[in-house]
Amino acid sequence: MVIFMKENTPKTEIESIKCKLELLHCKVHVSKGENSFILGLTGDKSEINTMEIQCNKNVEKILSVKEPFKLANKVFHPECTNIQVGHSSIGGKQIAIMAGPCSVENKEQIMTIAEDVKKAGATFLRGGAYKPRTSPYSFQGLKEDGLELLKLAKEKTGLPIVTEVMSANLIEKVSQVADVLQIGARNMQNFDLLKEVGKANKPVLLKRGLSATIEEFLMSAEYVMSEGNENVILCERGIRTFETYTRNTLDLSVIPAIKRLSHLPVIVDPSHAAGICWMVEPLSKAAIAAGADGLIIEVHNNPENAKCDGEQSIKPEKFNELVKSLSEIAKINGRAI
Amino acid sequence: MVIFMKENTPKTEIESIKCKLELLHCKVHVSKGENSFILGLTGDKSEINTMEIQCNKNVEKILSVKEPFKLANKVFHPECTNIQVGHSSIGGKQIAIMAGPCSVENKEQIMTIAEDVKKAGATFLRGGAYKPRTSPYSFQGLKEDGLELLKLAKEKTGLPIVTEVMSANLIEKVSQVADVLQIGARNMQNFDLLKEVGKANKPVLLKRGLSATIEEFLMSAEYVMSEGNENVILCERGIRTFETYTRNTLDLSVIPAIKRLSHLPVIVDPSHAAGICWMVEPLSKAAIAAGADGLIIEVHNNPENAKCDGEQSIKPEKFNELVKSLSEIAKINGRAI
Amino acid sequence: MVIFMKENTPKTEIESIKCKLELLHCKVHVSKGENSFILGLTGDKSEINTMEIQCNKNVEKILSVKEPFKLANKVFHPECTNIQVGHSSIGGKQIAIMAGPCSVENKEQIMTIAEDVKKAGATFLRGGAYKPRTSPYSFQGLKEDGLELLKLAKEKTGLPIVTEVMSANLIEKVSQVADVLQIGARNMQNFDLLKEVGKANKPVLLKRGLSATIEEFLMSAEYVMSEGNENVILCERGIRTFETYTRNTLDLSVIPAIKRLSHLPVIVDPSHAAGICWMVEPLSKAAIAAGADGLIIEVHNNPENAKCDGEQSIKPEKFNELVKSLSEIAKINGRAI
Amino acid sequence: MVIFMKENTPKTEIESIKCKLELLHCKVHVSKGENSFILGLTGDKSEINTMEIQCNKNVEKILSVKEPFKLANKVFHPECTNIQVGHSSIGGKQIAIMAGPCSVENKEQIMTIAEDVKKAGATFLRGGAYKPRTSPYSFQGLKEDGLELLKLAKEKTGLPIVTEVMSANLIEKVSQVADVLQIGARNMQNFDLLKEVGKANKPVLLKRGLSATIEEFLMSAEYVMSEGNENVILCERGIRTFETYTRNTLDLSVIPAIKRLSHLPVIVDPSHAAGICWMVEPLSKAAIAAGADGLIIEVHNNPENAKCDGEQSIKPEKFNELVKSLSEIAKINGRAI
């Protein structure tokens, strides 16, 4: 249920109606619409008398939300969410460009790449310290040492860090370095982990599961938000289909779909979607043209010898050129890089 | 097998080597590379002595083609195929814009839409006279009357006509009006029909099957080409996946994939892919940004009352605006609309 | 719309009501329910006055059919359709066993296999004369010569012949030998071909398309039936999914689904579904246990050298054993082989 | 790498070669083949001199394993794994029948169902205490109270308990009641959780992820096994495809595939696969006919009012009948219920 307040309703009146509703055991989320405040209700609404609310002189109208996601719903929060992270942001006019290697390998590697992508226009540094791998025998990341290196790269470049957290008991440790906590595609429905990052005070980058529908994707965001963390960034990274030419099939229709259903920012990962370095450019352009709020791109200074995903990483020079042409496309959509 | 001739090899020499090879029972397709001629061989190559060809003073090098498609292969024909249809073209610098209603309904409808899309910048008029429908009880198109109306629209606007042909015995009749013969997604592996349009002297617009891989898609083009018709336009129109929010899932990675594998032009149908009118704009932009050679878009003056696919058709005014912003994106890629 | 007549309504009354309805421009299909006659109506029902029919003293009740398929609907025809073909049948108590090579290769091959499968208990001989192939350069079948050889095998063994027809203009020729006309998976929505086999007087074996839903599958059967040919056999042969270990994914839930929705017989092709010879046995057993009305199995006397699909063909000895264990499973379900 | 020892090699010799290999920093897993011992090696094999091992008089032969899964590989362990749990077992001649409600709701419910399924022939009781749900607002299980009730049901009936564990920090608590720890489909690639149950001393029932390939499925089993827990039961529960008639598409080809690739037992969950109660019978029969080692079936005494998944639960009476006919099919395959 969503309650739209009249224009110019005083803040004290908003607080008063919020209090009354909370006494009836439901949770109230206040957000600002274009001209007035909006009250989103979740939880137990059995004791609420809709007629009574309707009669309140400050209430403009009441809407019921038919979609199963509430906090992530555009109806609850008509304005797009713009998440500020240090000097960077996601969801506003500025397009977020996250770039870096699949996994942190050593100091020289991460420092070089960090400086290169910064120079080229990246606004976030991505890099894996803990790596989810299909095989228990594959390289699983530098772990704590990887975090340390990311910290150094952040100190040097000022770029906020995006890195994956794979289990609840690592959230605290990863949060000491990470500015954005990434939840991988395979954990999109690891509900326990979602609830725990919902209690963290860092934005969450949630990757779409390999076979998750758009509704399930938004429901997983709802898990995070229902614990109090409303800074969720959705990331399309390709879905699993019958096609084997590409590693996954990038589904760009997710962008307009999410823009219509939700206020959350949505970005695209062309590197994992295609799994092929020469597809990163056309798919990145397509994502920005379709209205994505950002990109997360694998960049490696030595892709041939990368410890993982080398075949989908582009070199810093290529990344530099790419950002330039993306900037032109962004302008056509009234955005900037 | 592909034979690259040396630069400045005289035409008479090309003809002579072609003759010799044909005497050995294989088919020879001559195309022009950047600086010299290329001879593509299909059919029975058992009698050919590779060493002997290598020794010919005009032969630069010989390549074997590992992909199962030959005539559609970029190796056979490194230059992009640019198909000229009346004053319009597909595959060159100019982006092809095909627009019109899902099905031709009556004279007023098709004439109005035709003029509207022409004014807005369309370079082809699309419209169904014979309609493949899941149910035998649904409207199957105006058939011959539909063709007559398309003819009138063509006379009025000068736009070349793209329309579907569903069975071999209608090719002749449809060809009297159509400038491009469309093969629908459900017929992508109707090999009999492919062979027959391969004998027609009209370009063929081949839609990707709902669950066809990129290789199968190119193999179906190969069926058409192997009968002598090398003017095939490939069209991505969404594949079938688990996602139900959109009718199909648009797979834009097909564009760079086909550009790498083949010389044939590739266009995108955002209307059928999404099945939702408000997705046509972002997906069209994405397609052009990804490097598509054209678009085929459903435009209807009265979508609410369209005889089929109304929910995915956009209005002429919307189409007009769309073409303008597509034109800006095209420029960034060095193309024009 | 379906009209259930009262028990013991005389045939003359049935004819009379049928006539009246046809005068109102709809088509009437009479079938026999458990105790009484059922009239199924398709086509234009706009002129029909339901109230008036309800008042007829012989009418028990009227039902509207919400599914888009009518003639294939169990409501129209509650009794299972049992198709008699020579001494064999499909859809009754007897399980139909169709066996033979993927393609007819030569006289010795087809005669040997035909006799072997007959001895082992097959009730139909399958064999391809016209072969749909992904590549125009692959073996496309012996064509007319293949039909001739199938004719000889039929004369020798008495087994009815199942063979594919790929285009409308071959229906007549193929029908001279075939007892059952097979429509391949790639042609499941070749509506022109469906209509044409709908006019033939031979049962049609319709294979499920690689990405066809159950409803689309039944709608394609409806295309055949709406032209007058009600003897349609549905065949599950695996659908296309992300899994690549098997060629396709056999979807056995289709069997109970179709048994609930339709009166048409449904059989299973484990050879094409898996594409692996050692899976034929377990999947055949599973199909019969799930209630399939029959199986179509590739059997080859020399799979290593088969002209196509050798890797999924089983040898006659293996087939012989398999039929024995299938017979035991059939008994548990009250069926017989 | 797998080392096959000669027949009658004394145990002391086996131990001695194992010790030497471990000194070279690799892990050695000893298993018993038909006539002799087999040593499976994982981990770092760089220091091993294959020639030297070959020369050992007790070594029959050495095989390298090309599949990425080692411990789960049939080559490492040619005999089928038979897991004993109390008086029940999985993987041997006896078919395991796991039955019970989706979630434990109250004492009366679980006690009644437990006694009913026990009487009908179930060998395990299934029931969810912690429930993974797409929505944070849906019933998430009785949690600890649910575990308590499962304990009572176990005391009463003697049936071992199968219940899901959703996060690493609950393994200890759940293990106090559970005899088999279930990992849900959404957690199949929650690698952290897999490693933790790999350290538990309870068998693990691993459900196949919605879009997991057979190889990924076995790799997830490998994660559990590589931590020392070799008692893994694989469970096919339907994959996600384009078909929407059933909730998921049951992929029975997994059964012969896993039987060929691995020694681990494989069972089938027809309830979640189809999501439709009337499909449970035919799909259960099919699973047993295809060679499954067991079934896990949702049984509820009051499906209409079940707290979750009521539409796919069958009643105890139906379950009772079903087990009888499954027993007959099992016999045909040389198995027993």
Q: Tell whether D245 lies on the interface with B, counting CB pairs under 8 A.
A: no
Q: What is the mean pLDDT of chain A?
A: 95
- Residue D70 sits at φ, ψ, to 5 deg, of -110, -65
How far is residue D326's CA from residue B274's CA, in Å, rounded to a whole number? 45
Subunit contact B169:C166, Cβ cutoff 8 A: no
- Supply the angle between the helices B214-225 and B254-261 in degrees, to the nearest 10: 50
Question: How far is CA C10 from each of CA C14, C55, C58, C59, rounded to the nearest angstrom?
Answer: 7, 17, 9, 12
Q: Tell whether D239 lies on the interface with C, counting CB pairs under 8 A.
A: yes
Tallying the residues shown for chain A, one arrives at 337
How far is residue B220's CA from residue A155's CA, in Å, rounded to a whole number? 55
Q: Are strands C96-100 and C294-298 parallel, antiparallel or unpaired?
A: parallel
| Minimum CA–CA partner of B210 in chain D | D242
**Residue C155: exposure state from Cβ atoms within 10 A (0-12, 13-18, ≥19):** exposed
Beta-carbon count within 10 A of D314 CB: 24
pLDDT digits (tens, 9 = 90+) for C233-269: 999 999 999 999 999 999 999 999 999 999 999 999 9
User: Of B157, B147, B97, nearest to B127 (Cα)?
Assistant: B147
Locus of tokens 């695209």 = A268
Distance, C-alpha A287 to centroid of its chain: 15
pLDDT digits (tens, 9 = 90+) for C169-203: 999 999 999 999 999 999 999 999 999 999 999 99
pLDDT digits (tens, 9 = 90+) for B226-264: 999 999 999 999 999 999 999 999 999 999 999 999 999
User: Of A194, A191, A184, A124, nearest to A154 (Cα)?
Assistant: A124
Structure confidence at residue B312 as a pLDDT band (50, 70, 90): very high
Q: Tell whether C241 lies on the interface with A, counting CB pairs under 8 A.
A: yes
3-state secondary structure of D223: helix
Subunit contact D189:A132, Cβ cutoff 8 A: yes
Chain A CB contacts of B287 under 8 Å are: 286
Which residue among C211, C240, C242 sits closest to A240, beta carbon to beta carbon?
C242
DSSP B4-35: EEPTT--HHHHHHHHHHHHHTTEEEEEEE-SS
The better pLDDT of the pair B306, A193 is held by A193
Fill in the DSSP letter of residue B99.
E
Locus of tokens 């393994």 = D171
Inform me whether the pLDDT recorded for D66 exceeds 90: no
pLDDT digits (tens, 9 = 90+) for C85-135: 999 999 999 999 999 999 999 999 999 999 999 999 999 999 999 999 999
Question: How far is CA D264 from each of CA A210, C200, D204, D228, rounded to the nearest angstrom?
Answer: 26, 52, 11, 15
Locus of tokens 């096609």 = A243
Smallest Cα distance from C139 to chain D, Å:
29
Inform me whether the pLDDT recorded for C48 exceeds 90: no
The better pLDDT of the pair C42, B99 is held by B99
3-state secondary structure of A14: helix
What is the maximum span of chain D, computed from C-alpha positions, in angstroms? 68
How far is residue A206's CA from residue B228's CA, in Å, rounded to a whole number? 51
Subunit contact C219:B191, Cβ cutoff 8 A: no
Check residue D64 and give its pLDDT. 85
Check residue B297 and give its pLDDT. 98
Element (H, E) at C273: helix C270-274
Subunit contact D219:A134, Cβ cutoff 8 A: yes
Q: Where are the beta strands (DSSP E) in A123-275?
A: 124-126, 161-164, 180-183, 204-207, 232-236, 266-268
**Residue A61: exposure state from Cβ atoms within 10 A (0-12, 13-18, ≥19):** exposed
- Residue A131 sits at φ, ψ, to 5 deg, of -115, 125
Which residue among C256, C257, C329 sits closest to D289, beta carbon to beta carbon?
C329
Fill in the DSSP letter of residue A167.
S
Smallest Cα distance from A62 to chain C, Å:
36
Structure confidence at residue A337 as a pLDDT band (50, 70, 90): very high
Locus of tokens 């090696």 = D41
Element (H, E) at A284: helix A280-289
pLDDT digits (tens, 9 = 90+) for A150-180: 999 999 999 999 999 999 999 999 999 999 9
Which residue among C168, C187, C240 sits closest to B211, beta carbon to beta carbon?
C240
Distance, C-alpha B229 to centroid of its chain: 12
3-state secondary structure of D22: helix
Tallying the residues shown for chain B, one arrives at 337
Subunit contact C219:B136, Cβ cutoff 8 A: yes
| Minimum CA–CA partner of C242 in chain A | A242
How far is residue A248's CA from residue B25's CA, in Å, rounded to a whole number? 42
| Minimum CA–CA partner of B244 in chain D | D242
Using an 8 Å Cβ cutoff, are C293 and C336 in contact?
no
How far is residue B109's CA from residue B152's CA, in Å, rounded to a whole number? 12
Q: Tell whether B169 lies on the interface with D, counting CB pairs under 8 A.
A: no
Using an 8 Å Cβ cutoff, are C110 and C117 in contact?
no
Element (H, E) at A99: strand A96-100
Question: What structural domains does chain A harbor?
Answer: 2-63 (3.30.70.1140), 83-332 (3.20.20.70)
Chain C CB contacts of A241 under 8 Å are: 242
Which residue among C43, C211, C216 sits closest to B134, beta carbon to beta carbon?
C216
Inform me whether the pLDDT recorded for B327 exceeds 90: yes
Subunit contact D68:A137, Cβ cutoff 8 A: yes
Q: Are strands C294-298 and C37-43 parallel, antiparallel or unpaired?
A: unpaired
Locus of tokens 């899994």 = C243
